[in-house]
Amino acid sequence: MTVKPAKFCKESRAIKAAMVLPPDTNHYGTMFGGKVMSYIDDIAAIAATRHARTSVVTASTDSVDFLHPIRNGQSVCLEAFVTWTKRTSVEVFVKVVSEDMLTGERAVCATSFVTFVAIDVNGEKQMVPAVIPETELEKFLFEGAPERAQKRLEKREGSKALAARFGAMSLWQIEQVDAG
């Protein structure tokens, strides 16, 4: 695999904005969490692809921390950029901000880290460029990345163990085996 030259965080920066309309909201008039998560994955994939300049697939999403509701009639703006890379993986930070379009009041509504794996047209993993942080925030996120990566690895191993234990059986099937 070819080593690509390092890139600055800012080269991957991607922004997405949208109005929050009634079909985007639940019965409380706030944006569906799943819709926010879809927007997060979308903008993060754009940032990761912009950095890697090859196709990427989502490998994991660290917790999506919902901090403030996003209400019907507000706008929602997501900003994403690559914070760290490791051989074939790309970590992207996403910040979600709501804005009351009449008052201009803004609030950070969610944050998340999403990790992607770079692949070619045959699905083979591809090397990605290293990342160069410049700002204080970029450096802060970059320095914390190895610890987040280690936690993701540990969590993934736990998920694999859980999947192996339950396999493809439905929960109802497992209950029948346990009861029988």
User: Hey, where are the domains in the chain?
Assistant: 7-179
Give bridge partners of residue 25 from the DSSP assignment. 31
Residue 86 has pLDDT above 80, yes or no: yes
The fraction of the chain above a pLDDT of 70, given in percent, is 94
Residue 65 has pLDDT above 70, yes or no: yes
Question: Which amino acid is present at 131?
Answer: V
Residue 97 has pLDDT above 80, yes or no: yes
**Mean pLDDT, residues 113-123:** 95
Q: Give the pLDDT score at 63.
A: 82
- Of 107, 111, 91, nearest to 99 by C-alpha is 107
Residue 128: which pLDDT band, with cuts at 50, 70 and 90? very high
Q: Which fold has domain 7-179?
A: Thiol Ester Dehydrase; Chain A (3.10.129)
Residue 37: which pLDDT band, with cuts at 50, 70 and 90? very high
pTM reported for the whole predicted model: 0.89
Q: Give the pLDDT score at 180.
A: 62
Residue 49 has pLDDT above 90, yes or no: yes
Residue 1 has pLDDT above 70, yes or no: no
Residue 158: which pLDDT band, with cuts at 50, 70 and 90? confident
**Mean pLDDT, residues 64-68:** 92
**Mean pLDDT, residues 62-69:** 91
Give bridge partners of residue 66 from the DSSP assignment. 110
For 20, counting Cβ atoms within 10 Å of its Cβ (0-12 exposed, 13-18 middle, 19+ buried), the class is: buried
User: What six digits make up the tokens of 114?
Assistant: 């999403």
Q: Give the pLDDT score at 166.
A: 72
